[in-house]
Structure 1
Amino acid sequence: MVFDIIEIVTTHVAKAGSRVFGSLKAPVRVEVPTAKEHGDLSTNLALIVAKQRNENPMQLAEKLAAELRNEMAFEKVVVAAPGFVNFFLKPAFLLSSLKKLVSGLDSFPKQKQKIVIEHTNVNPNKAMHIGHLRNAVLGDVINRVLRRAGFTTEVQYYVDDTGVQVVDTFLGLKELKDVKRQDGEKYDHFCWRVYTEINETYEEQPKLLQKRALILQELEEPASATAKSVHAMAVDVLRDHLWTMGQFSIDYDLLVWESHIVAMHFWGKAFELLKKSKDFIKETKGKNAGCWVIKNPTEQGDADHSPDKVIVKSDGTVTYTGKDIAYHLWKYDLLGADFLYAPWSNAQQEK
């Protein structure tokens, strides 16, 4: 049984409307308000009836609200100008609705549609924090609900192993010889201390920022020794991340490495597709001179802020957004290419 709260509330409103207004000539609509303070659900039935009968919509809304306040589903029913009736649902009603939904899940037919769910995506440079766990739980719940509802799902985890944060930790491991890993310390926890220390050291040794920029450029060459070393560090951090997620029975079907998007020329193919758009240009002057950007025609910039999105920096470094575009084009099979796949071994992951 598919249980729809909006459908149930719509039935309540339709019956109450018939009792108050008589025969209804228009379909009853119940929707989720755009603003939370307007309640859980709302109907414009009084406005529609008022227009048909040339009557005061607020007065009709008050009559409808008075009738609906007798319904057990509503904690509160309020009238809002110019004639909306807003509902605040009782927690007990929501709980009973959820129980009915769960009891009817087994009756869902198998769906043909495949749904890709991408979640967690923590930078592989240090340990996770509670916010990352929150996001992972939300993604995992969505996945479990969809699978129970009959959909085939694929859970993807995007691993940003070419970003600035990863380079910060890598540089810290090279430069901060005094920061030692403690006995029994998880590697990702150790990396968090390194990451914190290197960011504080930048202020004392600004020349390290130049080294960071050079490493970022080297990551654009996946076969370089630097790129391989950074990737190896990211693998070790990710292994700890997945162990942590395994403690909560959260697992993934596919790990997508950002470095592979570069190595397998996904970005190169995406770059050529982007260049076919009139809104993707190489700037020749201004703050973004030498950069490839996506123009934003709807927003005005100023001397300090450009509304355009930089995709390739003037030094040739591809931004996170650029690689993310390539990733999403791959999802829609628009690149004419695919990854090479290998199993990932992690004792805490079911898949």
Structure 2
Amino acid sequence: MPSPLADTPPAPGHRFEVVRGTRASRAALAVGVLLVALAATLPAWGESSWMRDFVEIACYFIFAMMWNLLAGYGGMVSIGQQAFFGLGGYVMLALGNFAGVNPFVAVPIAALAAAAIAVPVSWVAFRLQGGYFAIGTWVIAEVFRLSVANISAVGGGSGTSLTALRGIEKATRESVTFWMALACVVASIALVYLFLRSKQGLALLAIRDNEVAAESQGIAVRRMKLAVYVVAAFGAGLAGALYFVGNLRISPDAAFSVNWTAFAIFMVVIGGIGRIEGPIVGALIFFLLNKFLSDYGSWYLLGLGLLAIVTTIFFRQGLWGYAQQRWGWTLFPTARTLRREP
């Protein structure tokens, strides 16, 4: 016999609203705005080494954020995203050294070039799935590395220097690079967050969970995966161009090193895969470990590996995932919650 309450209509006057924010998210927004405003003044009172450190970790973070979007939200685990990181760096250098383009202007152009190249690359990569896709993207990155290593105009295997910045004072160069890195970090967080809150973000999560079910509901699976792949390539190219603007020298082994993807995976896994907060937490931990333990050589790498193992065993959702499950912390809420109005 059905419950007498089953067909009982809501009490008169009860209204509901969709809640997409939390107290923690509003507090995080306020704190974030203050931190960004404070950080923007760093060139006026900080040391140049602080700005260089920030640019380096910003590049790692942007790269990790894009990898998290691709693998954590899109379900496409790639270990070859360094292909677009290196392409961004080399396109920026070519535009600066040979085309006379200001290297700072060349940074977004290089990112767009990496995104454009990702389209034909996807025709090959998307023929593979699962582990084959991961290995295939690594092979593609190696093809790019070997190809660039045979181009003598950009120094071949030994690389070359960015000469287009010679006429710019060191202080100006470092300040502009720092401000660009800060703007790119804020933009990457904002764009990923807004995307995940949109209908396209819901479609992407559905594809990650079950492609067949998502396609049966009318979602254009291949088109969505291509869009995310191109966006991730754009972010990787942006990080690469920005990194080598600050580094002033580029080589195929440095630009296309698999370590870029390895470190990105480390940051995302430590912080929490499939969460916007994950790369932020992971990047901060990675920066601290790199800053204070990198002088220990192989012991430093061993420590990174042990930390990753401990996290995957005891904190399978990552450190932020564990905090979110235990205390309900959500700084970037993407879910929709139905709440009765008082």
TM-score by length of 1: 0.25
Q: TM-score, normalised by structure 2?
A: 0.26
The structure number with the bigger radius of gyration is 1
Higher strand share: 1
Q: Which has the higher contact order (CA 8 A, sep 6+)?
A: 2
